[in-house]
A and B are shown apart, each in its own frame.
Chain A
């Protein structure tokens, strides 16, 4: 009973006392709080407002216009202050109201509880008293009283049972609470142990690229789950080994750090239904920090930005080649080391000290693969490789030389139909007289040369088949001839270039030079036979000019006539043949003795050049009408309309003393005489000097000789000189006169 009483009394008393204490503290804090709440904003407002007094006087609230004139931030600061003040006031009012309401409610609750407890005490006292009374009064008790006592006893027993039940439940609750408290404490302490062993930040270094959680987990027996979703793809989480490994360090190093989540839970608490809901899983963030050397970062950044294949600039076969790979691949030797290269063509070698590839690629090839292997300077395990693509192009000069050497002396390649056609054309012509050098396949030697030294003249010429013609198995289309006449006192030289695309231009040029030379010599001889002193006597240039005009016109006409005649003959055997198939140019020069020197008549139709060097500047220079230049691309041939425009085309030059006359086909003039200096005497002086030294090495022979590439004379060798893009037939004729040697 005493036990019961104590408990009954203790509960309400405690409640009231506690309530009173709480209220006192609460009240005190509220008063201080409220005081601060009110005073601080008020004082701050006063402070701020006083500092803005001049501004406020300006403000004059009713005038909106003036209000907007004030700078924006001032308005805002005032607005903020006002709002803050209002908010604080409102908050305070609410707080006071809620305080009052709370206080009232607490009083009501407390009083109720107090009354209840008092009431229950009284009733139990009464009951006990009654019980005592009934026990004491038992002998005098009547039946009614007895019944009453039984009922009361029964009730009290029931009450006691109920009270016991409540007490048991309370005890149970206490036990569970204690257990939870204990479990929480345990969990917390385990977590703190775990936190010590799993730092919130884990550093990954090149030496240690994984982190093992198993040791710290074992100690605590906690459950550890990595949220895989938050784990970046370049980290690998191995659940059974509780280990995180960097499996692709490149992005990791670039990202520098990554964060992932772990859920830590207590497996014991999870299985205990009493604890399950109380012990929460702890979510922890863990940072992984990449601690790699700076070089690694740079290296990786570089590998990311470099293409797998890099094309090098093309190189020419046989030329020394050098590639600076640092400039090309943009790496820095301080963090990337070029450890080796493999060149599929085995021609380029790596110089590791300068990071350059040098060598000579000997054979042309497309896309030669050169593999370069790199290592990171501070971390050799970091590797990278770039494939370089190199195209080596053929060296045209080398190729031309091969063509020249292997094919130059081979006869042109003729297909069976070509041969049949040529045979047919020849058959149409074979009976004509004179033949003018005609042979049964219209061929001519691939290279010829001639040198005659006589009567003060040093005359030489050479003609070679162009490399482009050798390559295609075509004949030489140029032609040349020269002759001394008039008892070796006069010279005639004719050079002709057959049109490249005319099928029988080689015959055309042959007719031009042979018939041209013959006609010119005959005409001049005829004049001089009639009057041997014609040119010496006639100082009237016009008169001479008219006479010579007729001679050249006659030469052109007779050549045309012959070509037309021959093409008509051929046409009878081959209907599609026309005179255009024998297109050729005409360059002619005739030198006659004149007064104390010589007179030169030069005449040209079409490309090529005639010039004089080695004489005075007044007479040296270009001695023909250039057919290129303004009328570019309109190459003339002897068959052309303008070929008989003699007054324009005839050049007369009087020379005293030494001179060098040079005639050349466009195969020589194109690469040799730049257009802008073609008329300058100096151009011809230097060419004359150069040719003189060449011709001096040439053997003298009275007849034209056919040469081979392997046994070529000096002049042919000179003609063979390599000029990129110039591979046409080349013909040159020179006539040097030196009065001393005569």
Chain B
């Protein structure tokens, strides 16, 4: 019997100074409610592995890739310093290379990782280097979340697949906006994140994103910024 293919999910959370206080607390609360929600989904419980990377003055692996079953959000998340987003992407690549079993001829490996990038600011470090490393690998669903009206251009570069390896163009990418001032807004975003993870972990083939993939189920395609992942539910219209 072959082992279960894991679905690695990376959360990259901005913990720069501007996130101090309410924003970071809300992110923490919502992340832990995502965990609670996903734990009710047997499929996610069997396949989802989570990793939390934070970036302020430095990028740091807060919680290494851990099964949903044993994952716990740190009791305290603090925010300070600048926004080392480029370093965070490089760290993401290093972590993924170390943790995720690649697909080979004789092993199915893990599914392509999902990445959620959450930031309220502009990178203060070498973002280009980070993006370069990031684009060398193939990723699954990518979601960029602009918190409190953060500047979009860098987040778009994170989502943009035009300069990525061949066959990458059909990958799913979403840009959403959330406001920490509105708890309901935050909640709807994280609910959608949770639903997306559930959908991907429950799909027969989370990697299946080539042109041969059937189109989204009726109603799944909507006028959001999705580049077309069939499995992903559409983000709530308030977020786009």
Residues of A within 8 A of B (CB): 311, 313-314, 316, 364, 366, 391, 393-394, 396, 399-400, 403, 421, 468, 471-472, 499-503, 505, 576, 578, 580-581, 583, 628-630, 632-637, 640, 666, 670-676, 723-728
Residues of A within 8 Å of B214, CB to CB, are 499, 501-502, 505, 580-581, 583
Residues of B within 8 Å of A676, CB to CB, are 106-107
Q: Tell whether, in the assembled complex, residue A314 and residue B69 are in contact, meaning their CB atoms are under 8 Å apart.
A: yes
Q: Tell whether, in the assembled complex, residue B202 and residue A472 are in contact, meaning their CB atoms are under 8 Å apart.
A: yes
Residues of B within 8 Å of A311, CB to CB, are 72, 75
Q: Tell whether, in the assembled complex, residue B107 and residue A500 are in contact, meaning their CB atoms are under 8 Å apart.
A: no
* Interface: B238 (CB within 8 A): no
Taken together as a complex, chains A and B put the C-alpha atoms of A403 and B43 apart, in Å, by 12
Q: Tell whether, in the assembled complex, residue B215 and residue A468 are in contact, meaning their CB atoms are under 8 Å apart.
A: no
Taken together as a complex, chains A and B put the C-alpha atoms of A666 and B208 apart, in Å, by 14
Taken together as a complex, chains A and B put the C-alpha atoms of A472 and B201 apart, in Å, by 13
Residues of B within 8 Å of A724, CB to CB, are 4, 46
Q: Tell whether, in the assembled complex, residue B69 and residue A634 are in contact, meaning their CB atoms are under 8 Å apart.
A: no
Q: Tell whether, in the assembled complex, residue A675 and residue B207 are in contact, meaning their CB atoms are under 8 Å apart.
A: no
Q: Tell whether, in the assembled complex, residue A725 and residue B103 are in contact, meaning their CB atoms are under 8 Å apart.
A: no
- Which of A403, A471, A633, A676 has the largest count of B CB atoms less than 10 A from its CB? A633
Cross-chain contact of A672 among B1, B68, B70, B217 (Cβ < 8 A): B1
Chain B positions 66 through 80: 1 when the CB is less than 8 Å from some CB of chain A, otherwise 0:
001111100100000
In the complex, how many angstroms separate the beta carbon of A530 from the nearest chain B beta carbon? 38
* Interface: B15 (CB within 8 A): no
Q: Tell whether, in the assembled complex, residue B4 and residue A500 are in contact, meaning their CB atoms are under 8 Å apart.
A: no
Residues of A within 8 Å of B231, CB to CB, are 501
Cross-chain contact of A399 among B42, B203, B213, B230 (Cβ < 8 A): B42
* Interface: B98 (CB within 8 A): no
* Interface: B166 (CB within 8 A): no
* Interface: B216 (CB within 8 A): yes
Taken together as a complex, chains A and B put the C-alpha atoms of A632 and B104 apart, in Å, by 8
Q: Tell whether, in the assembled complex, residue A316 and residue B69 are in contact, meaning their CB atoms are under 8 Å apart.
A: yes
Residues of A within 8 Å of B132, CB to CB, are none
Q: Tell whether, in the assembled complex, residue B215 and residue A500 are in contact, meaning their CB atoms are under 8 Å apart.
A: no
Taken together as a complex, chains A and B put the C-alpha atoms of A466 and B203 apart, in Å, by 12
Chain B positions 212 through 227: 1 when the CB is less than 8 Å from some CB of chain A, otherwise 0:
1111111000000000
Which residues of B, 1-22, contact A by the 8 Å Cβ criterion? Answer: 1-2, 4-5
Q: How large is the interface on B (under 10, 10 to 19, 20 to 34, 35 or more residues)?
A: 35 or more
Residues of A within 8 Å of B164, CB to CB, are none
Residues of A within 8 Å of B105, CB to CB, are 629-630, 675
Of chain B, the residue at the smallest CB distance from A672 is: B1
Top 5 A-B pairs, shortest CB-CB distance = A725-B4, A633-B207, A676-B106, A396-B42, A500-B204
22 contacts between A and B (CB under 8 A): A311-B72, A366-B36, A393-B45, A394-B42, A396-B46, A400-B42, A471-B42, A499-B204, A581-B215, A632-B109, A633-B103, A633-B208, A635-B208, A635-B212, A636-B212, A670-B108, A675-B105, A675-B106, A723-B1, A724-B46, A726-B4, A728-B204
Taken together as a complex, chains A and B put the C-alpha atoms of A723 and B46 apart, in Å, by 10
Of chain A, the residue at the smallest CB distance from B68 is: A393
Of chain A, the residue at the smallest CB distance from B75 is: A311
Residues of B within 8 A of A (CB): 1-2, 4-5, 36, 39-40, 42-43, 45-47, 68-72, 75, 103, 105-109, 112, 202-205, 207-210, 212-218, 230-231
Taken together as a complex, chains A and B put the C-alpha atoms of A576 and B215 apart, in Å, by 10
Q: Tell whether, in the assembled complex, residue B4 and residue A364 are in contact, meaning their CB atoms are under 8 Å apart.
A: no
Cross-chain contact of B205 among A471, A500, A505, A674 (Cβ < 8 A): A500
Of chain B, the residue at the smallest CB distance from A577 is: B218
20 more A-B residue pairs beyond the given contacts A394-B39, A583-B214, with a C-beta to C-beta distance below 8 A: A364-B40, A393-B68, A393-B69, A399-B42, A468-B43, A501-B217, A580-B215, A581-B215, A630-B105, A632-B103, A633-B207, A635-B205, A671-B2, A672-B1, A672-B2, A675-B2, A723-B4, A725-B4, A725-B5, A727-B43
Taken together as a complex, chains A and B put the C-alpha atoms of A586 and B231 apart, in Å, by 23
Residues of A within 8 Å of B70, CB to CB, are 313-314
Taken together as a complex, chains A and B put the C-alpha atoms of A531 and B198 apart, in Å, by 56
Taken together as a complex, chains A and B put the C-alpha atoms of A503 and B217 apart, in Å, by 6
Taken together as a complex, chains A and B put the C-alpha atoms of A728 and B4 apart, in Å, by 13
Residues of A within 8 Å of B207, CB to CB, are 632-633
Taken together as a complex, chains A and B put the C-alpha atoms of A291 and B210 apart, in Å, by 77
Of chain A, the residue at the smallest CB distance from B210 is: A634
In the complex, how many angstroms separate the beta carbon of A395 from the nearest chain B beta carbon? 9
Of chain A, the residue at the smallest CB distance from B7 is: A725
In the complex, how many angstroms separate the beta carbon of B15 from the nearest chain A beta carbon? 21
Taken together as a complex, chains A and B put the C-alpha atoms of A391 and B103 apart, in Å, by 33
Residues of B within 8 Å of A499, CB to CB, are 204, 214
Residues of A within 8 Å of B217, CB to CB, are 501, 503
Knowing A396-B42, A501-B216 are in contact, say whether A633-B204 is a contact too (CB < 8 A): no
Residues of A within 8 Å of B203, CB to CB, are 500-501
Taken together as a complex, chains A and B put the C-alpha atoms of A636 and B214 apart, in Å, by 11
